[in-house]
Amino acid sequence: MNNPLCKLLEQVPEGTRVKELMMNGEDVSGVETFVEYDSVTGLAIFKNDSNSTFVAVAERIDMIEFITE
């Protein structure tokens, strides 16, 4: 995966909070925490506060804003 966002996700620590995520021009609500990025499959995994899992094709992510403290 040569997408710059994919390269960024490889460096993001597990548990990093997500403020906003957009895919295909649409805001994806309910995504709260970054879990992991699998560079082999190109999948990014997130969870929400109720511990539900959201799996996304990372190359389809338009924008992601993390909360850094």
Identify the CATH number of the domain in which residue 11 sits: 2.30.30
Tell me how many domains the chain contains: 1
Is residue 53 packed enough to be buried (19+ CB in 10 Å), middle (13-18) or exposed (0-12)? exposed
Please say if the pLDDT value at position 38 is more than 90: yes
H or E element, residue 9: helix 4-11
| Average pLDDT value for residue range 11-28 | 95
State the residue range of the domain holding 24: 4-67
pLDDT tens, residue by residue, 2-15: 789 999 999 999 99
Q: What pLDDT sits at residue 1?
A: 59
Q: What pLDDT sits at residue 29?
A: 85
pLDDT tens, residue by residue, 41-66: 999 999 999 999 999 999 999 999 99
**What residues pair up with 36 in beta bridges, in sequence order?**
45
